[in-house]
Chains A and B, each alone.
Chain A
Amino acid sequence: GQQVMQIPQYQHVQEGEDFTTYCNSSTTLSNIQWYKQRPGGHPVFLIQLVKSGEVKKQKRLTFQFGEAKKNSSLHITATQTTDVGTYFCAGPPTGNQFYFGTGTSLTVIP
Chain B
Amino acid sequence: GAVVSQHPSRVICKSGTSVKIECRSLDFQATTMFWYRQFPKQSLMLMATSNEGSKATYEQGVEKDKFLINHASLTLSTLTVTSAHPEDSSFYICSATRVNNEKLFFGSGTQLSVL
List chain A positions with a Cβ less than 8 A from chain B: 1, 30-31, 33, 35, 41-45, 48, 88, 90, 92, 96-103, 105
Contact = CB atoms under 8 A, between A and B. Distances in A.
B44 A88 contact: yes
Contacts of B104: 33, 35, 43, 45, 90, 98
Interface residues of B, number: 25
A104 B43 CA distance: 9
Contact of A45 (B57, B103, B107): B103
A44 B105 CA distance: 7
A88 B59 contact: no
A88 B45 CA distance: 12
Interface of B: 32, 34, 36, 41-46, 49, 57, 59-60, 93, 95, 97, 100-101, 103-109
B103 A33 contact: yes
B109 A42 contact: yes
B93 to A, nearest CB: 6
27 contacts: A1-B46, A1-B59, A31-B101, A33-B104, A42-B106, A42-B107, A42-B108, A43-B93, A43-B95, A43-B104, A44-B106, A45-B105, A90-B104, A96-B32, A96-B49, A96-B101, A97-B49, A97-B57, A98-B34, A98-B46, A100-B36, A100-B46, A101-B43, A102-B42, A102-B43, A103-B43, A105-B41
